[in-house]
Amino acid sequence: MSQVMSWNRGIQRWKWVAVFLLPGLIGLTVFVLYPIVSSFWLAFQDWNLLQPPEFVGLSNFQELLADDDFWRALGYTLTFIVLYIPCVFVLGLALALFLNQKFPGMLMVRAATFLPVVASWVVVSLIWKWIFNPSYGLVNAGLNLIGINGPDWLFQPQTAVYAMVITSVWKDVGYIALLYLGGLQNISETYYEAARIDGANRWRCLRHITIPLLTPTMFFVAITLLINYFQMFEQVWLMPMRDSAADRQVEVIVTEVVKNAFSYSRMGYASAMSWVLFVLIFIITFVQLRLQKRWVHYEAE
């Protein structure tokens, strides 16, 4: 159809392509593609920003494998993922099932669950840092009321991890519920009517209709969560109390990259580490895509 338009032919065509595409393409090349390539190149260099970069082959990657800080950061990243993802996965689903009801005021609840999603991570980290303050924060005041002497949350590595997981769940649960809500609203009413005629109770409906038909959404949620939490940064950067044991020990991959690049000026080493993160994310996503046949049920099939 659009072939009738003369600018889709000959020189005219390239004139319009240039007008529309070049500003974006040039910018993308300079500010995205070139940095990607130069970061890859940097991964094989030793560079402290002062002397000229020096080619060191694979030695950045070799050093990485022997770097205890890197393994510790990877360990904490995985710990966060293991603690956080199941929580937000289940709570997000429960919240979505709740929000999916028609009930006066439900839109207000939905709006409230989304407030933390639009707030910046910096604000959320600082609010919860204050709430987790061992002496003056709300959490330990609440625990005091029921006779529990609250821990030093953001001072100790282990409790700091829990505090950050709770903060992350609070920030993201509304977003995850929203993704689930989209999936829930695509499930046809007729399944539930048929099940009711057969005398199925709510639990069986949830187990045998809602959850199987929601698996494509769950799959999407799982991939999104994994990709995002391999890259978690702000809460770990900002929340632990300065100079505490938690501050010294709890690092994730991105904070480790940032420290190497901007505190120690090890640009090559930090770039190598960021590419390892990319490869990890890539592998995990690939494995998930392969595993999805085992548990994801597409309605159309």
Partner 1 sequence: MRPNNALLATNLSGTVQPAASARGQITGRVDRLAGMALIIGLMVLPFLVMLSTSLKAQEYILQTPPQLIPNPATLESYSELAERIDLPRTIFNSAFVAIAGTAGQIVISAMSAYAFARLEWPGRNIVFLLYLATMMIPAVVLVIPQFILVRSLGWMNSYSALIVPGLFSAFGTFLLRQAFLAIPKDFEEAAYVDGANPFVIFWRIIMPLSLPSLATLGVFSFMGYWNNYLYPLFVARKEDVMTLPIALATLQAGPRSLTEWNLVMAGAVITVLPILAAYLLAQRWFVSGAISSGIKG
Please name which of 70, 73, 64, 93 lies closest in space to residue 161, comparing C-alpha atoms: 73
Q: Would you state the structure tokens that stand for residue 194, as one six-digit string?
A: 């048929």
Q: Which string of x and - marks every residue 182-211 that binds partner 1 (by CB under 8 A)?
A: x-x--x-x--xx-xx----xxx-xx---x-
- Taking CA atoms, 38 is separated from 14, 22, 231, 277, in Å, by 30, 22, 20, 17
Closer CB to partner 1, residue 57 or residue 199? 199
Q: CB under 8 A: which stretch of 59-67, 80-88, 149-157, 237-245 binds partner 1?
A: 237-245
Cα 256 from chain centroid (whole Å): 17
Query: 88, 165, 261, 296: which one contacts partner 1 (CB under 8 A)?
Result: 261
CB of 175 closer than 8 Å to CB of 117: yes
Closer CB to partner 1, residue 1 or residue 65? 1
d(CA 271, CA 142): 44
Q: CB under 8 A: which stretch of 66-74, 153-161, 221-229, 287-295 binds partner 1?
A: 221-229
Q: What is the nearest approach in angstroms of partner 1 to the Cβ of residue 122?
A: 4
Number of residues that bind partner 1 (CB under 8 A): 115
d(CA 36, CA 258): 17
Query: 58, 141, 194, 283: which one contacts partner 1 (CB under 8 A)?
Result: 141
Q: What is the DSSP string of 6-64?
A: GGGSHHHHHHHHHHHHHHHHHHHIIIIIHHHHHHHHHTTEE--SSSPPEE-TTHHHHHH
Return the bridge partners of 46, or none. Answer: 54
Residue 148 makes contact with partner 1 by CB under 8 A: no
Query: 78, 87, 126, 245: which one contacts partner 1 (CB under 8 A)?
Result: 126
Q: What is the nearest approach in angstroms of partner 1 to the Cβ of residue 24?
A: 4
Q: Which string of x and - marks every residue 54-93 that binds partner 1 (by CB under 8 A)?
A: ----------------------------------------
Query: 78, 87, 281, 284: which one contacts partner 1 (CB under 8 A)?
Result: 281
Query: 119, 148, 194, 283: which one contacts partner 1 (CB under 8 A)?
Result: 119
Cα 25 from chain centroid (whole Å): 28
Residue 291 makes contact with partner 1 by CB under 8 A: no
Q: Kindly give the interhelix angle for 121-131 and 157-184, rounded to the nearest 10 degrees.
A: 130
Q: What is the nearest approach in angstroms of partner 1 to the Cβ of residue 159?
A: 18
Please name which of 145, 163, 144 lies closest in space to residue 153, comparing C-alpha atoms: 163
Chain residues 28-47 in contact with partner 1, contact rule CB under 8 A: 28, 30-36, 38-39, 42
d(CA 207, CA 72): 39
Q: CB-side exposure of 63: number of CA atoms within 13 Å?
A: 17
Question: Which of the 8 DSSP states describes residue 156?
Answer: S
Q: CB under 8 A: which stretch of 61-69, 157-165, 168-176, 289-297 binds partner 1?
A: 168-176
Q: CB under 8 A: which stretch of 61-69, 76-84, 262-270, 292-300 binds partner 1?
A: 262-270
Query: 7, 55, 71, 286: which one contacts partner 1 (CB under 8 A)?
Result: 7
